[in-house]
Copies of this chain bind each other. A is one copy, B any other.
């Protein structure tokens, strides 16, 4: 099933990319391609080869959910602007049947959202059994921008790490496997990508002057990510930090993380919950 294992990644992407005890974000080179010695072309080929594998795993997830299996998957995507979250959604998630995907973009909280605790809108968007949920930004904004922009006191931020870990434990126990991904780009790479949006008429809409405001706080964001990762990378919901200066690598890596995670479910096809011969006869007579 996880056919990329042997042919593209030198070992398990989950092993290669998990942020473990002692992880230091600043030590991870955004240009690197852990576990892969290949070209962009080979990377794109591996991505194309993985698409039907991931699609098959999602169909199995869905089929089993109809027989009462409560499992689902939640891909959490966090990154600096232009790091490639959108590309993961279109190129990795885009190959899965839309019926099996629940995608949510979290923006600046609305007044209604702010009137609840920070996990309220997150709970409301959790995937159903059988689905792959995708969060483009997430509850982690409440310990990232909230920390950098001082939208909450340090004590509150500290407490949120605990609340998040407890929340993710509950979510996991109810059947949702969480795959948390930070796409890690360099400051120079971001500069180049934002600059490219200012060069093409069909990309102007992707540029927001606020992106530069956030960019000026780059070191503070890197620190906030470091703290978020070290405080919330747990056994049941580890962070995977994916070097993302090479888009082909980041896409292949996230696809492989999903394939490995879902392959481990070992889901076969659910048996018929009706009598096949009886149904054949009823259908023939209809």
A contacts, CB < 8 Å to B: 63-64, 66-67, 86, 89-90, 93-99, 101, 103, 105, 134, 136, 191, 194-195, 198, 201-202, 204-205, 207-209, 212, 215-216, 269-272, 274, 276, 279-280, 282-283, 286
Contact = CB atoms under 8 A, between A and B. Distances in A.
A282 B97 contact: no
A204 B272 contact: yes
Contacts of A101: 98, 103
A272 B198 CA distance: 9
Contacts of A212: 279, 282-283, 286
A276 B198 contact: yes
B205 A283 contact: no
B269 A209 contact: no
Contact of A89 (B98, B103, B276): B98
Given A67-B205, A207-B272, A209-B274, A198 B283 contact: yes
Contacts of A198: 276, 279-280, 283
- Shortest 6 CB-CB distances between A and B: which pairs? A63-B205, A204-B272, A90-B97, A202-B269, A98-B103, A212-B282
A212 B285 CA distance: 10
A283 B90 contact: no
26 contacts: A63-B205, A64-B205, A66-B205, A89-B97, A90-B97, A94-B95, A94-B97, A94-B98, A96-B98, A98-B98, A98-B101, A98-B103, A99-B136, A191-B283, A195-B283, A201-B269, A202-B269, A204-B270, A204-B271, A204-B272, A207-B274, A208-B274, A209-B282, A212-B286, A215-B286, A216-B286
A64 B205 CA distance: 8
User: Copies per complex?
Assistant: 2
- Please indicate which of the listed interface residues A96, A205, A272 has the most CB atoms of chain B within 10 Å of its own CB: A205
Contacts of A279: 198, 207, 209, 212
A187 to B, nearest CB: 9
A271 B200 CA distance: 11
A4 B95 CA distance: 23
Contact of A269 (B105, B205, B208): B205
Contacts of A208: 274
